[in-house]
């Protein structure tokens, strides 16, 4: 297992791909029954009359599944302190029973915090099916810890006037 990276180790453009997981009709229906009941997510027969022509996963399901896969491969697992937001989320194509989802994650922004022990990270998630079709994309902002043994930051004793 790769050790988690600190904020200081990250660079814009770094990217990684998660492993995959297959959506079953059972998982789609159970998620819908718990969190997002819509006939086209829960009722295979009624779904045929919907805009989708058949059962499709809740967009919330593909979203949380994307994070679940992200956690498997995350380069900041253990150093990520908190999520702060999501921007520009688009559900572009529905996910159907039997589809296998995986996520390509790219670091798109890095900004040190005013607090010396952390920084703000922006990552783009692109969730695709087994054919490479883009189902879902969004950007996540989060707070990642800085290396407590790393280079001194501005304002540290090393740089104070003597």
Q: From 11-19, 57-65, 97-105, 148-156, give the range in contact with its own copies by CB under 8 A.
A: 57-65
27 φ, ψ (degrees, to nearest 5): -65, -40
Contact call for residue 132 and its own copies (CB under 8 A): no
Is 108 a binding residue for its own copies by CB under 8 A? The answer is no
Distance (Å) of CA 150 to CA 59, 83, 113, 128: 40, 23, 15, 36
Residue 21 Cα distances to 24, 65, 123, angstroms = 10, 8, 21
Residue 67 host element (H or E): helix 59-73
- Furthest CA-CA distance within the chain: 77
Cβ atoms of residues 80 and 74 within 8 Å: yes
Q: How many binding residues for its own copies (CB under 8 A)? A: 30
Minimum distance, C-beta of residue 158 to its own copies, in the bound complex (Å): 26
Q: In whole angstroms, how close is the CB of 17 to its own copies at the nearest point?
A: 19
Q: Is 95 in the site for its own copies (CB under 8 A)?
A: no
Q: Please, which residue, 118 or 128, has the CB nearer to its own copies?
A: 118
> Which of 5, 29, 63, 121 touches its own copies by CB under 8 A?
63
- Of 117 and 150, nearer to its own copies (C-beta) is 117
Is 33 a binding residue for its own copies by CB under 8 A? The answer is: no
Kindly report the backbone phi and psi dihedral angles of residue 160, in degrees, each rounded to the nearest multiple of 5, phi listed first. -70, 145
- The piece of 15-23, 55-63, 120-128, 146-154 that touches its own copies (CB under 8 A) is 55-63
Whether 71 contacts 44, CB under 8 Å: no
Nearest one of 105, 117, 109, 102 to 142, comparing CA atoms: 109
Which residue from 3, 12, 15, 68 is in contact with its own copies, where contact means CB under 8 A? 68
Residues that bind its own copies (CB under 8 A): 34-38, 50-52, 59-60, 63-65, 67-68, 71, 80-91, 138, 143
């Amino acid at each position: 297992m790769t050790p988690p990276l600190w904020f200081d180790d990250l660079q814009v453009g770094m990217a990684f791909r998660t492993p995959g997981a297959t959506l079953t009709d059972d998982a789609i229906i159970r998620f819908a029954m718990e969190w997002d009941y819509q006939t086209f997510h829960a009722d295979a027969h009624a779904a045929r009359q919907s805009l989708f022509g058949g059962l499709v996963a809740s967009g919330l399901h593909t979203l949380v599944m994307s994070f679940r896969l992200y956690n498997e491969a995350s380069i900041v697992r253990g150093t990520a302190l908190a999520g702060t937001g999501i921007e520009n989320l688009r559900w572009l194509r529905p996910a159907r029973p039997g589809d296998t989802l995986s996520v390509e994650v790219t670091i798109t922004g890095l900004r040190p915090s005013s607090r010396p022990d952390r920084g703000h990270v922006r990552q783009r998630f692109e969730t695709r099916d087994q054919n490479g079709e883009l189902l879902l994309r969004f950007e996540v902002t989060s707070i990642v810890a800085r290396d407590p043994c790393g280079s001194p930051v501005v304002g540290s004793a090393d740089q104070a006037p003597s």
